[in-house]
Amino acid sequence: MAVAQTMQEKESEDCSLLPLVHDIIKCIDKESQDIHQELNKLRTKIQEAREQISNMPGIDTSPEEQQQQLASLREQVRTKNQLLQKYKSLCMFEVPKAS
């Protein structure tokens, strides 16, 4: 549980741009030459975030729509299970094999 929470925090930190912006502001304050490198890091980070978002599954719909689809699928499985159970409890058909 603790491991999962740590991973979640790490993921949240990973997608945050504030640490990089903070580093850039520090470089401006210090008038450091590393500012270009930090700017590149920010640009790369934004690009990576865009790619990550594009590859994330299941976010093409809103959470509400997705919940509706999930409920619909659950209902389908339930109905089909009931139907099969009903047919199976009716009787068995033994089809003679053609010799």
**Burial annotation 30-46 (CB, 10 A radius, 16+ → b, else e):** eeeeebeebeeeeeebe
Give yes or no for a contact between 27 and 35, defined as CB atoms under 8 angstroms apart.
yes
Residue 33 vs 54, nearer CB to other proteins: 54
Helix/strand/coil for 95: coil
Task: Report, in Å, the least distance between residue 25 CB and other proteins.
Answer: 6
Give yes or no for a contact between 53 and 59, defined as CB atoms under 8 angstroms apart.
yes
Task: Report, in Å, the least distance between residue 42 CB and other proteins.
Answer: 7
Residue 37 vs 77, nearer CB to other proteins: 77
Residues that bind other proteins (CB under 8 A): 8, 11-12, 15-18, 21, 24-25, 28-29, 31, 39, 42, 46, 49-50, 53-54, 56-67, 69-70, 73-74, 76-77, 80-81, 83-84, 87, 93, 95-96
Residue 37 vs 61, nearer CB to other proteins: 61
**CA atoms of 70 and 73, how far apart (whole Å):** 5
